[in-house]
Amino acid sequence: MKVELFAFQKKALADIRMKIAEELGSYKRTHSPQVVSFTAPTGAGKTIIISALIESILFGDENYAEQQKAVIIWLSDSPQLNEQSKLKIDSKANKIRLDQCVVITDDSFDKELFEDGHIYFLNTQKLSKTSNLTKNGDKRTYTIWQTLENTVREKSDRLYFIIDEAHRGMQGKDAGKATTIMQKFIKGSVEDNIPPMPVVIGMSATTQRFNALVEGTSSTIHKSVVTADEVRVSGLLKDRIVITYPEAGSANNDMAILQAAADDWKEKWEHWTQYCCEQHYAYVNPVLVIQVLNGSNNKISDTNLDDCLQKIEERTGFRFETGQVVHTFGQTNSSIQVNGIEVKYEEPSRISEDRNIRVVFFKENLSTGWDCPRAETMVSFKHANDATYIAQLLGRMIRTPMQMHIKVDDVLNDVHLYLPYFNESTVKDVVEALQSAEGGDIPTDIYGESIGGRKFETLTVKPRKKKVYSPIQGQMSLDMFIGEKVNLSGQSSVEVINPNTKVSTIGSFTISGTQMCNQEQQQIAIKQNSISQGKLVEQNADADKTSTNDQNSVANIDNQVYFQEDEKETKFDREDVMKFINDVGLLSYNVRSLRINNYLISLYKMAHLLTMSGLYRIMKYNQKLRR
């Protein structure tokens, strides 16, 4: 695998690999169908574990021989979930070729047998009685059922069948249909003339869901379980989910809550920018996710999209450009116009990798087949009767962008959900759904709070400051995002670029990493000096006086910014407090230490680099000269 698995993922992989090897041997002896029930909490990385399992089956490992003629069939209830799983295998598994993963469609697939060494992706929606895959015709020699029957008969010694999530994304009749179709592969089907699959691996967030699927079968069931505590210790997930709802009796709930969400999103940008700059990490670029209502009377949505985007821009001061706002509306894959900008369609599974995306509008297609750790803040205009669906969606947002707990800034360990049309009672329904079977024993603390009644303050090294600016006419302020492109009336956009240093892009504005860090350090030094003198005022340096000494600047900045802090914020050294808490382990969770790569692997990589670049020969030549 291209990624290093967490300890609990390696343990689960070894356990499942051992069980399916035993099951395959048992099936050869008894011809009794075998099932492995793999259960892990939401966000534990089940797809990564199964991807590593497939790589182990096909190419072997230190304990098992390779089986390059193995056939793997991956069944889910959603085409989006199939696409997400395929992309994850393509991007994370370094031994599996791109052409080994095949998504089966009803337009082109027609084979007597599934081919050796391939991973086939099926979804239940393609297996209904009306689907072309299940029918014979002039252009189809074999139905999918005949292909399965032939493969079980000819290749039962190397056929592995994976059932993904057990109709997690479906409700009502659709869920019932998915269960019926999935059970055909476990129980067999006389109607379709297929036997039970020899070895089935079921992956699910809860034991209850998969147990309901295998109920009444004659298969031998083996269980592999990842506990919530194991995932919590790893630092893979956010520490807290905070759900905010409007005050009772308040008016204009929707836009007030949207503005609060915009404030939270802006705060995440500022904190991630500071953290990544100081720790020398790639910028996270957090995403604001907005779930809007379905449309009626030929409208694309009953939510006013123009008003939403306008309110976000007014609240944050940011002006969006094409490509920074996208939609995932299922009824169209064309661009739409929102508040004067082009909003393009984007496949949900590709949002996470596009660092330019800042805001995502969607309706209902992000609850499955979607994984975006950069999604830090979400607003849902759904109404209170959709608590279970909201819970399913939120479970897709709890992964941490850096796959680790952030020690120095707890703001970055939270994910926020804003619900304008919920109240205290209905928010409790969401919390209960998250903590019940739908959430899969989610290993994250969950809080519900009204917009005016915060239940806790998040501790962070970066103090919270109320900013009051006094801009001078004709000048610009960089107070919003560090280095953000700012448009004032009658003024053109300005970019500050240092050609001699590494350039970082934050949104549409470009600024050198050195300048950004220096600016942060200067502000911290000024703040500490002001605090020691009992003053609560910071001033930016006059850019006009220093412009002649700074050849990297192409704009003069003359703007005073006053940071007014609460008195309580100045009574302790925040950095020392955070360091003490982490050092003595007072938190309710374990802080994972930094992972160190295998030194031998690192040495091999260095030797390869020196050899391929020719530096090794130059070093030997220099050594001879010195002698």
Q: Is the distance from CB of 81 to CB of 123 less than 8 angstroms?
A: yes
Asked if 117 and 142 sit in the same domain, the reply is yes
CA 330 – CA 333 distance, rounded (Å): 7
Q: Average the pLDDT over each of 222-231, 281-290, 323-332, 368-377 and give the range with the smallest value.
A: 368-377
Last residue of a domain, one of 232, 259, 288: 232
Choose between 574 and 538: higher pLDDT: 574
Confidence of residue 400 (pLDDT cuts 50, 70, 90): confident
pLDDT at 226 over 50: yes
pTM over the 0.75 mark: no
pLDDT digits (tens, 9 = 90+) for 132-142: 888 887 678 89
Confidence of residue 449 (pLDDT cuts 50, 70, 90): confident
* pLDDT value for 197: 92
* pLDDT value for 369: 53
Choose between 507 and 322: higher pLDDT: 322
pLDDT at 219 over 50: yes
456 lies in a domain?
Answer: no
* pLDDT value for 485: 37
pLDDT digits (tens, 9 = 90+) for 415-437: 888 988 888 887 887 777 666 64
CA 396 – CA 374 distance, rounded (Å): 11
Asked if 85 and 202 sit in the same domain, the reply is yes
Asked if 292 and 354 sit in the same domain, the reply is yes
Asked if 281 and 199 sit in the same domain, the reply is no
pLDDT digits (tens, 9 = 90+) for 327-346: 988 778 889 999 999 999 99
Bridge partners (DSSP) listed for residue 361: 290, 327
136 lies in a domain?
Answer: yes
* pLDDT value for 599: 64
Q: Average the pLDDT over each of 6-20, 171-185, 269-283, 556-570 and give the range with the smallest value.
A: 556-570
359 lies in a domain?
Answer: yes
* pLDDT value for 176: 59
CA atoms within 13 A on the CB side of 574: 18
Extract the tokens encoding 74.
């991956």
pLDDT at 441 over 70: no
Asked if 341 and 217 sit in the same domain, the reply is no
Asked if 23 and 170 sit in the same domain, the reply is yes
For CA atoms 346, 271, 380, 338, the dihedral sign is: negative
pLDDT at 27 over 60: yes
pLDDT digits (tens, 9 = 90+) for 518-527: 444 444 444 4
Which among 563, 516, 512 has a CA at the least distance from the CA of 535? 563
* pLDDT value for 173: 55
Q: Tell me what percent of the residues of the chain surpass a pLDDT of 70.
A: 67
582 lies in a domain?
Answer: no
Contacts of 291 (CB under 8 A, 6+ apart): 362, 363, 366, 378, 379, 380, 381, 382, 393
- What domain range is 509 assigned to? 466-565
Q: Average the pLDDT over each of 16-20, 46-50, 561-565 and give the range with the smallest value.
A: 561-565
Asked if 365 and 495 sit in the same domain, the reply is no
pLDDT, averaged across the chain: 75
Extract the tokens encoding 617.
């020969």
Asked if 527 and 423 sit in the same domain, the reply is no
Domain count, the chain: 3
Asked if 394 and 476 sit in the same domain, the reply is no
CA 77 – CA 33 distance, rounded (Å): 22
* pLDDT value for 221: 86
CATH code for the domain in which residue 95 is found: 3.40.50.300
Mean pLDDT of the region 405-418: 86
CATH code for the domain in which residue 241 is found: 3.40.50
* pLDDT value for 460: 55
625 lies in a domain?
Answer: no
**Angle 440-441-444 (CA atoms, 0-180°, nearest 5)?**
115
CA 349 – CA 345 distance, rounded (Å): 12
67 lies in a domain?
Answer: yes
Asked if 338 and 199 sit in the same domain, the reply is no
559 lies in a domain?
Answer: yes
pLDDT digits (tens, 9 = 90+) for 475-497: 333 333 333 333 333 333 333 33
602 lies in a domain?
Answer: no
Asked if 44 and 183 sit in the same domain, the reply is yes
Q: Cα 103 from chain centroid?
A: 23
Which among 152, 160, 157, 149 has a CA at the least distance from the CA of 36? 160
* pLDDT value for 168: 52
Last residue of a domain, one of 511, 546, 565: 565
Fill in the amino acid letter for 479: D
pLDDT digits (tens, 9 = 90+) for 102-140: 999 877 889 999 999 999 999 888 888 888 888 887 678
Last residue of a domain, one of 185, 200, 232: 232
Q: Is the distance from CB of 120 to CB of 199 less than 8 angstroms?
A: no
Extract the tokens encoding 479.
């107070």
Asked if 496 and 540 sit in the same domain, the reply is yes
